[in-house]
Chains A and B, each alone.
Chain A
């Protein structure tokens, strides 16, 4: 069965600090990988995604993530965080298995709550 682990449940940083949030997944096949963000009081938004190709993907708001297949990891990074990055971050995996209905089943990690202080 697929699973996703996010190692940091709660991260506190000062503005301009660098950020790295860990994500590891467990799945034997090919996967699509996602990072979603949920700002306070707002809906889940896609930060970035990896399907194939260059393992370093760039997303919105200066975020990037690196897919390391050998480590089953998809860590999220940002060189310099801002107060507005305060949010909950979810890593998610979608195994490339063709289900009977053709839908996608996302498996979410537990989430990392990031607080950035001015």
Chain B
């Protein structure tokens, strides 16, 4: 199984809402990532978890809050977002310490109204 799954596929939320994005993988990968991708742009790294610990926060605003409950799951909690946060949010996973490729999920298309 080389699949990374993400739910929901689409999400529309108001600026005062609280919502969560979910990501799951069963490849035994111990590194998991959140990316943000705007239209016609490359993915931008947001967070990296390694062995369930937050390793990198790329200066992401606190209205985005990641969580890694276990080695297979990664969440992104959203609160008080701005319209400019509308984007495709991608989850990825990889082996650690080997420089291997990252496996990407299909993404959650987020629209903030």
Contact = CB atoms under 8 A, between A and B. Distances in A.
Contacts of B90: 43-44
A110 B41 contact: yes
Interface of A: 32, 34, 36, 42-46, 49, 51, 88, 90, 94, 96, 98-106, 108-111, 113
B6 to A, nearest CB: 9
Interface string B95-113: 0111111111111000000
Contacts of A51: 99
A101 B56 contact: yes
A101 B55 contact: yes
Contacts, number: 70
Interface string B60-96: 0000000000000000000000000000001010101
A16 B46 CA distance: 39
Chain B contact residues (Cβ within 8 angstroms of A): what range?
Answer: 20 to 34
Given A44-B104, A102-B31, A111-B42, A32 B56 contact: no
Contacts of A45: 104
B28 interface: no
Nearest to B3: A43
A111 to B, nearest CB: 5
Given A43-B104, A105-B45, 15 more contacts: A32-B100, A34-B101, A44-B43, A44-B92, A46-B101, A96-B99, A101-B48, A101-B51, A101-B55, A102-B51, A102-B97, A103-B96, A104-B94, A104-B98, A111-B41
B94 A103 contact: yes
A104 B102 contact: yes
A44 B103 CA distance: 8
Contacts of B50: 101-103
